Amino acid sequence: MAPEPAVVSMRAEVPEALLGSMRSFIEAHPNWDQYRLFQAALAGFLVQNGVQSRAVTQCYVANMFQR
């Protein structure tokens, strides 16, 4: 069995408008939560900006297409 990937906790200050939009999205999409949304957004940003990491790409795809 493969070991669990390392997880690091983060804290970030975000503009109120961004937080409000995030909450609205999560309320409208109950299969998403703040952790999944943040992981998908961060991984998507990194992939779109040239980060070539299989682990990052897998994180992005897993979060985008999770049921």
Q: Which two tokens stand for residue 16?
A: 């109120």
Query: With bands split at pLDDT 50, 70 and 90, how would you rate the model's confidence at 26?
Result: very high
d(CA 65, CA 61): 6
**Other CB atoms closer than 10 Å to residue 15's CB: what's the count?**
8
pLDDT surpasses 70 at 29: yes
Q: Quote the pLDDT of residue 66.
A: 72
More confident residue, 65 or 19: 19
Q: Residues of the chain with pLDDT > 90: what percent? A: 66
- Put simply, whether the predicted model's pTM sits higher than 0.85 gets the answer no
Give backbone dihedrals phi and psi of 42, rounded to 5 degrees, phi first: -65, -45
